[in-house]
Amino acid sequence: MKNLRMKAARVSKDLSQDQLAKAIGVSRQTINAIEKGDYNPTINLCIAICKALDKTLDELFWEEQE
C-alpha cells in the first residue's frame, strides 16, 4: 500500500526524498520504496522518519480498518 501520508508530510516540509534520506541515514531508494509501498520499514526507521517529519507513528503509518 502506498504511503501517501508520508509523501505529503515530506512535501509539506519542502524536503526531497534525498534530503529526508540523508537526514535519517538511509538511501533515497529506501524512501522511494516506502512511499511506493514496496518496502515495509522497521519500527526504528518509522520512528526516525516520524521525528524528521514532526509526525506521530499513527499519523504516518497506521492503517485504518475498514
Counted domains in the chain: 1
- Output the pLDDT for position 21: 98
Distance CA 45, CA 35 (A): 13
Hey, how many other C-beta atoms are within 10 angstroms of the C-beta on 23? 15
The answer to whether residue 66 sits within a structural domain is: no
> What is the full per-residue pLDDT of the chain (66 aa) written as tens digits?
789 999 999 999 999 999 999 999 999 999 999 999 999 999 999 999 999 999 999 999 987 765
- Do the domain assignments include residue 65? no
CATH assignment of the domain containing 49: 1.10.260.40
Q: In 10 A of CB 19, how many CB atoms?
A: 14
Res 65: pLDDT: 64
- How far apart (Å, rounded) are the C-alpha atoms in residues 14 and 45? 20
